[in-house]
């Protein structure tokens, strides 16, 4: 039985988040420049996006550029921003054909104008699509998102809009740039690194973590199916004991 056949479609995660890592190493292994790895990463994105939509996943979040990635060499940053613009242009068809809505989280105003314009255009053109939301995390870090939320909460307390004793988890969460997106049940990281790198720290409190040694440009739908099968074989207890879990 293939992994695709093993997937229980009634128990799909609603939201899958992916840390797409290993583009640079993929290129290096082949004696090529890092940017070639990023370019080939776009094929992995397309296949993963299409497969997720076909399966019935409602939200797919891809970590595409972190706050810390601004510390990379200038030429790599510029190449990544160019690639983002060209990939958005090219993949608009994938999104329209598959009824996919594009969303973005992160400090978007720090992106070059050209990226922001393209991003806004594609988000506008796909906003009515209902099959799946593809969320790009761009210039994103979880500490940035949490700090921003804390700043906005403080401002609302200062102006009397909210009272500090009314603040609970749900209210705090509503201040996140990703507040309209449910928490991911499954987080995948490629490239064999076992770390979170400042991604969705709050939202993954109870996510199942899945690590694969595959480098991102080699990741394909079969790898996604494998991760989902693994996820479906786990018991999610949320602090309870096994006997309390009704499956």
The set of catalytic residues is 21, 69
Q: Please, which residues bridge with residue 132 across strands?
A: 100
Smaller CB separation from ligand IPE, 64 or 87: 64
Token code pair at residue 84: 């983002």
- Write the DSSP symbol of residue 200: S
Work out how close the CB of 136 gets to ligand IPE at its nearest, in angstroms, rounded to a whole number: 10
Work out how close the CB of 19 gets to ligand IPE at its nearest, in angstroms, rounded to a whole number: 5
Smaller CB separation from ligand IPE, 7 or 181: 181
What does 162-196 look like in DSSP terms, one character per residue? S-GGG--HHHHHTTSTTTTSPPPSEEEE-TT----
Q: Does 21 bind Mg ion (CB under 5 A)?
A: yes
What does 130-150 look like in DSSP terms, one character per residue? -SEEEEEEEEE-HHHHHHHHH
Taking CB under 5 A as the binding criterion, the range among 14-22, 66-74, 79-87, 236-244 that sits at the site for Mg ion is: 14-22
Work out how close the CB of 142 gets to ligand IPE at its nearest, in angstroms, rounded to a whole number: 11
Taking CB under 5 A as the binding criterion, the range among 16-24, 44-52, 77-85, 163-171 that sits at the site for Mg ion is: 16-24
* Strand positions, DSSP E, 70-145: 100-105, 132-140
Positions in the binding site for ligand IPE (CB under 6 A): 19-25, 63-66, 68-69, 80, 191, 193, 195, 197, 216
168: burial class by Cβ within 10 Å (0-12, 13-18, 19+)? exposed
111 binds, among Mg ion, ligand IPE, none (CB under 5 to 8 A by kind): none
Q: Residues in the site for Mg ion, rule: CB under 5 A?
A: 21
């Amino acid at each position: 039985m293939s992994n695709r056949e093993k997937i229980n479609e009634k128990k799909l995660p609603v939201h899958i988040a992916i840390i797409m890592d290993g583009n640079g190493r993929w290129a290096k292994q082949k004696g090529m420049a890092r940017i070639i790895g990023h370019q080939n990463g776009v094929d992995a994105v397309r296949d993963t996006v299409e497969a997720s939509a076909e399966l019935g996943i409602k939200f797919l979040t891809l970590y595409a550029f972190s706050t810390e990635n601004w510390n990379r060499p200038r030429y790599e940053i510029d190449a990544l921003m160019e690639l983002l613009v060209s990939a958005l242009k090219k993949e608009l068809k994938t999104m329209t054909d598959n009824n996919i809505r594009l969303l973005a989280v992160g400090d978007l105003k720090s992106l070059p104008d050209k990226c922001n314009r393209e991003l806004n255009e594609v988000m506008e053109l796909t906003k009515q699509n209902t099959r799946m939301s593809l969320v790009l995390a761009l210039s994103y870090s979880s500490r940035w998102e949490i700090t921003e939320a804390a700043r906005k909460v403080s401002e609302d307390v200062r102006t009397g809009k909210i009272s500090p004793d009314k603040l609970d988890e749900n209210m705090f969460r509503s201040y996140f740039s990703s507040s309209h997106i449910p928490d991911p049940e499954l987080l995948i990281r490629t490239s064999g690194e076992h770390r979170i790198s400042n991604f969705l720290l709050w939202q993954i409190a109870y996510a199942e973590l899945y690590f694969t040694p595959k480098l991102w440009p080699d990741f394909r739908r079969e790898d996604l199916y494998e991760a989902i099968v693994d996820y479906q074989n786990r018991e999610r207890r949320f602090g309870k004991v096994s006997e309390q879990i009704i499956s």
